[in-house]
Amino acid sequence: MPPHTKEDRSRKFMVGSSDSETENEDLALVHLVLRKLSIKDQTLLHRHFKKVPEAFNILWRDQHQRLDLGQMQWKLHGSDLHLFLQDMRTEFRSIHFRSEQLQEELNILEQAGIERLVHVDTCEISWGNSMIKNINFPQWPFHALPKLLSNLIHLEIHAPVQACFIEQFRKLESLKIYQEISSSALEAILRSGAPLLQLHLLGDFNYQLLGISKCKHLKKLLVNFQTFWSSPKEILQLPKLLVLGITRLTENGETLKALSNVIKEKGSQLKSFKLNCSFMDHGKYISQLELNRCVSLKELELVDCKFEDQEMTKLFLPVTQSYAMFGNCPDLMDDQLLDFIKTSPKLKDLVLIECPKLTEALLHNVVKVRNSGEKQEPLLIKVKDCQDIWDSYQKNFSSYWDRKRSIVKLDCITEESKPIDNVQFIFHDNII
């Protein structure tokens, strides 16, 4: 007699189990799943079978708090997908849609009987799956989202937006748009009165931000230079602005003029200033910013700066910072950095990334400077890709530098660092 196949055994399992053909088929499927378990696991499941639905709900909550229908369709279909969505409808915390397949994905939710996802507070909308991005995809499905996601707080869109729908999210606090948004849609957002705390308009698209000063809750703004340059007064009038980032800096007088104007208007409120200087031919142009007007500055970062033979004292840098960073400054010399340290009496932390010309002589001079004045906290210098100074420090640590740790200490940065690639102003929140 030939051995029984898996199908024969499943068919045998069905006999007498139910008169219903559908129930027989379901039972056979369950049988196939159970066969994959060990006898120990089968026994455990048999003993606690009443707890299985609750256990599944807990498992799904842990593993699927983010709903991605594009991926879920590959794993579940039809009634199985609907069952999963219905059981999880109050457990999802975030959701991902594809712009070109948005209506298709909304239809799946409708077929599952889901009208609202009340606990979803985060939504990301990306392009579709096609290699060629279709900028003319239908926009009307967007209008269904505010009702579906009535408690949305964070929205991130990587596709073009023409339709006016974002302003209907009455609880929206964070909005990031990576592609172009129509003027009418942007104006509607700025007029909406939503409790928007963060607005990022990324990409190389220029906007008029008329009316943005009325966004009384806005704390964090990121725009490109041309967008900032179109409405600088309104932006600087934002009553609660804490973080202003400007991208796409260009090599012209307007850029330095605009940055200088921010410092003129709000320099006394500035807590942190980070600048990528790659748009400048020479570090000497930093002097035009007159950063010494920043009388309460705590943090200063300068990246991609060409100092050449520039005297640091002529750059009008601030003197109040306790933290400073110089990144990718290939010609920064010992004497230049020493002058900066001399004029920064509150400096406690100094980060140096890719400054290869710095040597151990800098450390010896720091010891002399710090010993000659009032007693100060040790200066902690953290370096990455500054091989000369780091190698010398390690070589002479036990014989000399260990005894000088009360004055200056050197550490090596091992983790990845990502210096700023634009400009960022951070203001004191207790002053604004």
Read off the pLDDT of residues 295-305 as tens digits, 9 standing for 90 and up: 999 999 999 99
User: Would you state the structure tokens that stand for residue 250, as one six-digit string?
Assistant: 């260009």
* 331-340 b/e (C-beta count within 10 Å ≥ 16 → b): ebbbebbbbb
What is residue 352's predicted lDDT score, i.e. its pLDDT?
98
Closest CA to 334 of 314, 313, 366, 358: 358
What is residue 21's predicted lDDT score, i.e. its pLDDT?
67
Comparing 57-71, 110-124, 208-222, 315-329, the range with the smallest average pLDDT is 57-71
Q: What is the pLDDT of residues 129-155, one digit of tens each?
A: 666 777 778 899 999 999 999 999 999
What is residue 78's predicted lDDT score, i.e. its pLDDT?
86
| 236 pLDDT more than 90 | yes
* 296-308 b/e (C-beta count within 10 Å ≥ 16 → b): ebbbbbbbbbbbe
What is residue 279's predicted lDDT score, i.e. its pLDDT?
94
Tell me the domain boundaries of the chain: 268-432
Q: Average per-residue pLDDT in the chain?
A: 89
Residue 77 pLDDT class (50, 70, 90 cuts): confident
Closest CA to 385 of 359, 417, 362, 353: 353
Count of C-beta atoms within a 10 Å radius of residue 285: 17
| 256 pLDDT more than 90 | yes
What is residue 76's predicted lDDT score, i.e. its pLDDT?
83
Mean pLDDT in residue range 410-426: 93
What is residue 360's predicted lDDT score, i.e. its pLDDT?
97
Q: What is the pLDDT of residues 371-390, one digit of tens each?
A: 887 778 899 999 999 999 99
What is residue 131's predicted lDDT score, i.e. its pLDDT?
66
Query: 10 or 330: which carries more pLDDT confidence?
Result: 330
What is residue 15's predicted lDDT score, i.e. its pLDDT?
47
Residue 54 pLDDT class (50, 70, 90 cuts): confident
* 319-329 b/e (C-beta count within 10 Å ≥ 16 → b): bebbbbbbbbb
Mean pLDDT in residue range 51-67: 75
| 60 pLDDT more than 70 | no
What is residue 84's predicted lDDT score, i.e. its pLDDT?
87
Mean pLDDT in residue range 280-300: 95
Mean pLDDT in residue range 213-232: 95
CA distance 20 to 7: 19
| 31 pLDDT more than 80 | no
CATH of domain 268-432: 3.80.10
Q: What is the pLDDT of residues 107-119, one digit of tens each?
A: 999 999 999 999 9
What single-letter amino acid sits at 133?
K
Mean pLDDT in residue range 25-50: 74
Sign of CA dihedral 252, 255, 261, 264: negative
